[in-house]
């Protein structure tokens, strides 16, 4: 029975050995060097403890196999025996070591290791120090160095060693196979796993021999290293003058927060004390009280790098980037510019720095209150020139003016002056003869798609303007503060660089945008004499603007025209001018670029090829006009059209929109002037007769619901318009359409919205039964009026119904031509009792019993198979009067939450609905039927909707949320052991790298990603007993429907070679060909000659026939370097993309 039990243990150990371990980091560290930043913390710790060292070039070679000599050196070092090894350098008992120059560095380690029994030589008397060490051999060396060798004596090799190593945790995060050469990176991980493991010590001898774990003996203790866990950095030199620059104070606390111990240590690592200040750390300390390694123990989510947004209080503080307000812990500490502040209310607004949370509350803050912030424009030795982001002024820092210069990264880690360069964002404060600078090098380059007053869209991504930001349109010749949309509008469609500040917002936009104009048109309404004539021009935007001529000689003939007379004045009739012009970048009328037609009465001058006059005729809805019989012009979207005179015959230009003009039939009162080319588009049309009717405009009323923006050279604003709905409108001036403004507008000739009249603002009112009273005036509020409430910051809060007006006190509004309020915003809650409704209330919107419906908390969830669901409305009459609803009083409809479009609505009732006092009744005869499908009016799977009710013209607050579950059960991606399957193949398939053992495949090796986020993967199964192996699984859609999938799994057939032996003549060297067959494609990834990996220059690869040719020089060099002679053999190994390798034998002659 004992034998059977022992056999079972052995089989279990073997089962363990053949299992797969977690992949470590070594494969990603192929080019790692000692000086690299962002190395894995295990590697950093290994170098800090001194057991990992680079080669002569500083390479760590983490992806290379470790040799016996290297592995032994590591074991000796972590055992605290480095000094002893140094004393034992010299002759060894191994002839191959003594004769090998490449192993002389290791003689001390070899003599000590053999003497200590950590490692042995080979039976033939060699040590083979440059031979590879397998994972099993590395594990054995560690186990014996920890005195656990007795636990594996008599166990089968390598199963016993591998099992014990796993038991001790040596293989955590290591991909280990017993007979595979151990990779240096994995060895570092194995050693790191072993550092704190208690060693075994013998406590009994002779017949009572026994062993126990000694918690006081570890590799750390042997290296005389203590580990201090969860210690807070409570003081650094910048806040405690008794400390040296490289010293920090570490304090530990008990479970109640009381101080247990506090000591000062010297920091030997590269970490900056300022970066660690206030954080909890795990520190490894040598016997000289020096910290050789430190790891931050504070959870990353509890370390906030942020800016103080609002005025802090003693017990709470608002942060900008987090966009949240945090409670301040009792006893929390705060420093501003390394000076302690008594409480958080003393922290200046705008201070930036590090906040540390404990249990969700801010427990520590180390902040900088900057004197200046800016963007570097030039660095000349120790002089840093920059543009001040607060005002656009040029400034500079001369570092020679300071005794101490401290430069930090945004996380307070150490930076260098050389990190400050052009386009660096810098933030600094001064204290006597020292300067503290935070530098951030983060910028975005790309093309500007659109701009808003406080944000810019670059290559499809929006970036917010920082609290302090400047722009330059000429790459640094001039800087302006980014104040509004005008500051950045010229960047649209330009390539820019945007510099990002500490909060992730833009502090500088720089580009080469030029504000230039094309051809412009207008009516001159006045000309003022002077050294340069100034023209008042009514332009295409419907505005009168003064422009000065660039030339001192132009437009003199326009000064004495009769601008203020009427067209009917027979003695001195009205005279004015129509103008084509260009503007310079200084907004002057460009020299010699203008075309002028002086108009006297209704007769224009047409003394050039661009102006035409006569009787203009056109048919309704036609996009062309005729001047006489031979002059036809077409109307384009950018044709500027004006009516010059008002009905009194005075010069009072107005715009006519293109759409309006196209709709007209013109045959009378039609004197006109046209700028353009015959047979082509009219550029400018001026109607000259006072009795011409065409300039009347339709007016629109609404509320601007979002900030205006610019795209493609035009401004846009989102406006909810009375009778039209919410959509984006092209606007003439973003300043006239800020968010939350109530507007009355018309369209100019370019189809741009332009303000027609101003809204009445901040009027105090009372509301009663659809009327508001303002002062002595009473106005009706339209039942479909656009109504919004404002929050305390005067921003839009929410859309409200007409009856809700009674809850507010102040109103901004516009009246239509019937003196009815059709758009308004309200604010300031009114006081007093609310009126009790007299007509009852909607109690709920619900479904009937048709179909199976899942309703939870006012939500209706449907499936694609739920063909029809009917919605109705219960109405309770809680008054003592009969309530009657006409068919036109009721509308129930469903709205798409994404597009805000109506999808389907109820049909009107056949008769009025009467609800008796105290009764509850359905409002609709048939209700609203919801259907799921692909046709118009049907709901779509995977989308959300809202059922809404309009009662007597007012949108009700009660709604019903509707969600249609997705029926998408498709699969987007499948990977097996990291290899993506081809889902387009029939059948779907995946080929794994050569050498993969399909028998070892596990479900955990498979990753399946459904196309729809709410679909689930079920019933995943692997069958490796068939050929090909198969992966089967189901994708279940959100609505419960599922589809089964099968993917065939096979292994790439590795390359083969017909012959693996060849020769090399030392005396008559020639290139050596190593032939092979690529059975499943791929290519060569590397060639190794003996113990040396060849560079790509030392061999060539051919495809037809497939072979690797090793250059004779490489072989001769290897022969010479290793003292080889005729009769010796060299092993050459070729590795392949598809996995696997072929070993060749080269016999020397």
561-574 pLDDT, tens digit per residue, is: 999 999 988 888 99
Nearest-5° angle of CA 273, CA 278, CA 281? 75
Which of 318-332, 835-849, 901-915 is predicted with the least confidence, judged by mean pLDDT? 835-849
Q: Is pLDDT of 446 > 80? A: yes
pLDDT, greater one: 935 or 600: 600
pLDDT at 97: 94
Q: CB under 8 Å to 349, separation ≥6 — which residues?
A: 308, 309, 310, 311, 312
The half-sphere exposure of 247 on its side-chain side, counting CA atoms within 13 A, is 14
Mean pLDDT calculated for residue range 743-748: 87
Among the residue ranges 225-229, 798-802, 918-922, the one predicted with the least confidence is 918-922
Q: Are 862 and 963 in contact (CB under 8 A)?
A: yes
Collapsed DSSP state (helix, strand, coil) of residue 1109: strand
The DSSP bridge pattern shows strands 506-511 and 461-472 to be parallel
Structural tokens at position 647? 């009905």
Structure token pair of residue 529? 């004499």
Report how far residue 648's alpha carbon sits from residue 812's, in angstroms, rounded to the nearest whole number: 35
Output DSSP code: residue 834: P
**Of 11-15, 794-798, 849-853, minimum mean pLDDT range:** 849-853
Give CA–CA dist 72/86, Å, rounded. Answer: 14
300-368 and 841-964: identical CATH topology: no
Question: Which one is the CATH code of 1061-1148: 2.160.20, 3.40.50, 3.30.300, 2.60.40?
Answer: 2.60.40
**Residue 837: is its pLDDT beyond 50?**
no
**Between the CA of residue 175 and those of 26, 462, 1002, 1052, what are the distances in Å?**
9, 43, 16, 22
State how far Cα 200 lies from the chain centre: 51
- Cβ–Cβ contacts within 10 Å for residue 947, how many? 23
- Residues 71 and 142: their CA atoms lie apart, in Å, by 10
Q: Which residue has the higher pLDDT, 76 or 899?
A: 76
Give backbone dihedrals phi and psi of 887, rounded to 5 degrees, phi first: -55, -35
Model confidence band, residue 18 (pLDDT cutoffs 50, 70, 90): very low
Dist CA 520 CA 601 (whole Å)? 24
What SS3 class is residue 108?
helix
- Read off the pLDDT band of 136 (50, 70, 90): very high
Identify the band that residue 54 occupies on the pLDDT scale cut at 50, 70 and 90.
confident
Cis peptide before 785 (omega within 30 of 0): no
Q: Which helix (H) or strand (E) holds 661?
A: helix 658-663
Reported confidence tier of residue 696, pLDDT bands at 50, 70, 90? low
Percentage with pLDDT > 70 across the chain: 92
Which of 186-195, 335-344, 472-481, 1125-1134 is predicted least confidently?
A: 472-481
Retrieve residue 908's tokens: 């009107």
Closest CA to 368 of 395, 392, 391, 339: 339
Residue with tokens 């390479």, as numbered in its chain: 59
Q: Nearest Cα to 785, choosing from 762, 812, 807?
A: 812
**998 to 1003, 1005, 1008: CA distances (angstroms):** 12, 11, 18
What number is the average pLDDT over the span 1132-1146?
A: 89
Which stretch of 11-20, 242-251, 905-914, 1082-1091 has the lowest confidence by average pLDDT? Answer: 11-20
Nearest to 808 by CA among 832, 784, 842: 832
Q: Own/partner pairs for 52-60, CB < 8 Å, 24+ apart?
A: 52/188, 58/33, 58/34, 59/31, 59/32, 59/33, 59/34, 60/29, 60/32, 60/33, 60/34, 60/184
- 300-368 — its CATH code? 2.40.50
Look at residue 881 and tell me whether its pLDDT is greater than 80. Answer: no
3-class DSSP assignment, residue 582: coil
Q: Which residue has the tokens 């109607």?
A: 687
pLDDT (tens digit per residue) in 447-476 = 999 999 999 999 999 999 999 999 998 778
To the nearest whole number, what is the mean pLDDT of the chain? 87
Q: How far apart (Å, rounded) are the C-alpha atoms in residues 642 and 663?
A: 15
User: Residue 419: is its pLDDT beyond 60?
Assistant: yes
Nearest to 463 by CA among 496, 441, 434, 440: 496
> How far apart are alpha carbons 83 and 882 in whole angstroms?
104
Phi, psi of 1108 (to 5 degrees): -110, 130
CA distance 1088 to 1110: 10
Could you give the C-alpha distances from 568 to 88, 578, 605, 646, 690, in angstroms and in order? 121, 19, 19, 12, 10
Task: Evaluate whether 328 touches 317 at the Cβ level (below 8 Å).
Answer: yes
pLDDT class of 582 with cuts at 50, 70, 90: confident
Structure tokens at 440: 């951030």
Tens digits of per-residue pLDDT, 1038-1074?
Answer: 888 899 999 999 988 888 999 999 999 999 999 999 9
Model-level pTM? 0.49
Q: How far is CA 20 from the centre of its chain?
A: 36
Reported as a pLDDT band with limits 50, 70 and 90, residue 878 is low
Residue 921: which H helix or E strand, with range?
A: strand 920-922
Fold for the domain defined by 841-964: Immunoglobulin-like (2.60.40)
Asked if 758 and 736 count as a contact pair (C-beta separation under 8 A), the reply is: no
More confident residue, 847 or 72: 72
Q: Are 1129 and 1122 in contact (CB under 8 A)?
A: no
Rounded Cα–Cα distance for residues 1144 and 1062 (Å) = 8
* Low-confidence winner among 549-553, 699-703, 953-957 (lowest mean pLDDT): 953-957
Q: How many CB atoms lie within 10 A of CB 398?
A: 12
Number of Cβ within 10 Å of residue 869's Cβ equals: 21
Identify the residue whose tokens are 């259907």: 931
Phi, psi (rounded to 5 degrees) for 851: 80, 170
Higher pLDDT among residues 634 and 11, named by residue: 634
Question: pLDDT per residue over 268-282, tens digit each?
Answer: 888 899 999 999 999
Q: Which residues contact 921 (CB under 8 A, 6 or more apart)?
A: 874, 875, 877, 913, 915
In SS3 terms, 303-350 reads as EEEEEECCCCCCCEEEECCCCEEEEEEEEEEEEECCEECCCHHHCCCC
pLDDT in tens, 776-814: 899 999 989 999 999 888 889 999 999 899 999 999 999
Domain locations in the chain?
A: 13-221, 224-296, 300-368, 370-512, 520-687, 700-829, 841-964, 971-1051, 1061-1148
Q: Are 749 and 653 in contact (CB under 8 A)?
A: no
- CA-to-CA distance for 873 and 335, rounded, in angstroms? 61
Q: What is the pLDDT of residue 851?
A: 30
Choose among 649, 539, 627: nearest CA to 589. Answer: 539
Q: 493 near 514, Cβ under 8 Å?
A: no
Question: Is pLDDT above 60 for 34?
Answer: no
d(C-alpha 703, C-alpha 794), whole Å: 13
Task: Give the pLDDT confidence score for residue 1013 in this predicted structure.
Answer: 78
Element (H, E) at 77: helix 68-78
Q: Using alpha carbons, select from 509, 373, 504 the residue that is nearest to residue 445.
A: 509
Q: From CA 1070, how far away is CA 602, in angstroms rounded? A: 101
Q: Pick the closest to residue 281 from 354, 228, 360 (CA basis).
A: 228
CA distance linking residue 720 with residue 607, whole number of Å: 48
The answer on pLDDT for 4 being more than 60 is no
| Contact predicate 616/674, CB 8 Å | yes
Residues near 506 by beta carbon (within 8 Å), at least 6 away in sequence: 456, 463, 464, 465, 466, 469, 482, 498, 499, 500
| Tokens (6 digits) for 938 | 């049907």
């Amino acid at each position: 029975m004992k034998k059977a039990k022992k056999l079972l243990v052995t089989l279990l150990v073997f089962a363990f050995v053949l299992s797969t371990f977690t992949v470590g980091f070594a494969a990603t560290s192929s080019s790692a060097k000692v000086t690299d930043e962002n190395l894995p913390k295990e590697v950093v710790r290994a170098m800090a403890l001194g057991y990992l060292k680079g080669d002569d070039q500083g390479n760590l070679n983490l992806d290379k196999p470790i040799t016996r000599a290297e592995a032994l050196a590591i074991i000796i070092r972590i055992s605290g025996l480095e000094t002893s090894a140094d004393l034992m350098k010299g002759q060894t008992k191994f002839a191959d070591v003594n004769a090998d120059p490449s192993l002389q560095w290791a003689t001390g380690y070899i003599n000590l290791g053999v003497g200590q029994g950590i490692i042995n030589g080979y039976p033939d008397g060699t040590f083979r120090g440059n031979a590879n060490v397998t994972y099993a051999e590395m594990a054995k060396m560690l186990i014996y160095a920890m005195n656990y060798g007795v636990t594996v004596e008599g166990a089968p090799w390598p199963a016993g060693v591998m099992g014990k190593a796993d038991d001790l945790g040596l293989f955590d995060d290591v991909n280990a196979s017993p007979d595979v050469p151990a990779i240096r990176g994995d060895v570092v991980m194995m050693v790191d796993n072993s550092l704190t493991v208690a060693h075994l010590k013998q406590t009994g001898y002779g017949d009572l021999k026994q062993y126990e774990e000694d918690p006081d003996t570890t590799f750390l203790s042997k290296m005389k290293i203590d580990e201090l866990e969860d210690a807070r950095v409570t003081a650094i030199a910048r806040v405690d003058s008794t400390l040296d620059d490289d010293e920090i104070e570490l304090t530990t606390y008990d479970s109640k927060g009381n101080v247990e111990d506090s000591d000062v240590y010297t920091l030997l690592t590269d970490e900056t004390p300022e970066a660690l200040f206030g954080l909890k750390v795990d520190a490894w300390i040598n016997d000289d009280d020096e910290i050789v390694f430190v790891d931050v123990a504070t959870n990353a989510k509890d370390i906030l790098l942020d800016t103080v947004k609002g005025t802090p209080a003693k017990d709470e503080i608002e942060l900008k980037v987090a966009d949240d307000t945090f409670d301040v812990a009792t006893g929390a500490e705060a420093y501003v510019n390394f000076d302690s502040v008594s409480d958080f209310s003393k922290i200046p607004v705008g201070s930036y720095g590090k906040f540390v949370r404990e249990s969700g509350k801010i427990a520590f803050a180390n902040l900088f209150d900057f004197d200046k912030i800016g963007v570097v424009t030039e660095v000349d030795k120790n002089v840093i020139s920059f543009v001040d982001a607060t005002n656009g002024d040029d400034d500079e820092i001369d570092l020679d003016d300071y005794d101490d210069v401290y430069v930090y990264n945004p996380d307070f880690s150490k930076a260098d002056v050389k990190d400050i360069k052009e386009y660096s964002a810098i933030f600094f404060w001064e204290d006597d003869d020292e300067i503290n600078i935070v530098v951030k090098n983060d910028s975005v380059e790309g093309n500007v798609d659109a701009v808003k007053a406080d944000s810019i869209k670059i290559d499809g991504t929006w970036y917010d303007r920082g609290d302090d930001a400047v722009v330059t349109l000429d790459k640094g010749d001039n800087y302006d503060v980014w104040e509004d949309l005008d500051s950045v509008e010229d960047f649209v469609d330009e390539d820019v660089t945007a510099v990002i500040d500490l909060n992730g917002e833009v502090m500088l936009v720089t580009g080469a945008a030029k504000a230039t104009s094309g051809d412009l048109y207008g009516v001159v309404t006045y000309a003022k004499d002077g050294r340069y004539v100034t023209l008042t021009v009514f332009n295409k935007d419907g505005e009168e603007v003064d422009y000065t001529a660039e030339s001192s000689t132009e437009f003199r003939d326009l000064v004495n025209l009769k601008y203020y007379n009427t067209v009917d004045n027979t003695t001195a009739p009205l005279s004015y001018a129509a103008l084509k012009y260009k503007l310079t970048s200084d907004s002057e009328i460009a020299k010699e670029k203008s075309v002028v037609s002086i108009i006297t009465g209704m007769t224009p001058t047409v003394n050039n090829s661009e102006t035409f006059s006569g009787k203009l005729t056109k048919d309704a809805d036609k996009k062309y006009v005729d001047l006489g019989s031979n002059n036809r012009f077409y109307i384009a979207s950018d044709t500027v059209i004006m009516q010059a005179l008002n009905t009194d015959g005075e010069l009072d230009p107005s715009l006519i929109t293109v759409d309006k003009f196209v709709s007209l039939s013109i045959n009378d009162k039609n004197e006109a002037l046209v700028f353009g080319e015959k047979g082509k588009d009219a550029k400018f049309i001026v109607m000259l007769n006072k009795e011409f009717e065409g300039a009347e405009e339709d007016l629109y009323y609404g509320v601007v619901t979002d900030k205006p923006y610019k795209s493609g050279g035009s401004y846009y604003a989102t406006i909810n318009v009375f009778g039209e709905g919410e959509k984006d409108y092209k606007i003439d001036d973003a300043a006239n359409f800020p968010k939350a403004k109530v507007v009355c507008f018309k369209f100019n000739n370019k189809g741009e919205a332009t303000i027609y009249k101003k809204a009445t603002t901040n009027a105090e009112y009372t509301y009663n039964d659809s009327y508001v009273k303002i002062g002595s005036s009473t106005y009706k509020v339209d039942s479909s009026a656009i109504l919004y409430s404002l929050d305390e910051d005067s921003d839009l809060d929410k859309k409200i119904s007409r009856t809700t007006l009674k809850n507010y006190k102040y109103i901004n509004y516009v009246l239509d031509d019937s003196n009815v309020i059709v758009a308004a915003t309200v604010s300031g809650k009114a006081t007093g009792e609310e009126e009790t409704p007299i007509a009852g209330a909607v109690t709920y919107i619900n479904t009937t019993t048709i179909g199976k419906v899942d309703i939870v908390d006012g939500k209706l969830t449907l499936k694609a198979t739920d063909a029809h669901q009917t919605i109705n409305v219960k109405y309770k009459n809680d008054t003592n009067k009969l309530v009657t609803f006409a068919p036109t009083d009721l509308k129930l409809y469903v709205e798409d939450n994404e597009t805000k479009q109506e999808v389907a609505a109820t049909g009107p009732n056949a008769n009025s609905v009467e609800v008796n006092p105290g009764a509850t009744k359905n409002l609709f005869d048939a209700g609203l039927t919801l259907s799921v499908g692909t046709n118009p009016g049907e709901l779509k799977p995977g989308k959300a909707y809202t059922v809404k009710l309009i009662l007597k013209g007012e949108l009700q607050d009660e709604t019903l949320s509707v969600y249609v579950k997705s029926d998408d059960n498709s699969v987007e991606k499948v990977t097996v052991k990291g290899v993506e399957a081809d889902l387009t193949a029939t059948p779907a398939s995946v080929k794994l790298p050569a050498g993969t053992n399909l028998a070892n495949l596990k479900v955990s090796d498979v990753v399946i990603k459904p196309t729809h986020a709410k679909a689930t993967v079920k019933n995943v199964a692997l069958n490796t007993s068939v050929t090909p192996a198969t992966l089967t699984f189901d994708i279940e859609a959100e609505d419960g429907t599922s589809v089964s999938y099968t993917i065939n799994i096979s292994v790439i057939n590795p390359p083969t070679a017909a012959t693996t032996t060849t020769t090399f003549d030392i005396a008559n060297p020639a290139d050596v060909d190593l032939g092979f067959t690529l059975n499943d494609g791929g290519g060569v990834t590397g060639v190794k000659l003996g113990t040396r990996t060849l560079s790509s220059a030392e061999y060539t690869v051919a495809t037809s026939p497939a072979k690797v040719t090793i250059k004779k020089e490489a072989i001769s060099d290897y022969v010479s370097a290793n003292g080889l002679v005729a009769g010796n053999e060299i092993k050459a190994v070729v590795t392949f993309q598809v996995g696997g390798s072929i070993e060749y034998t080269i016999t020397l002659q």
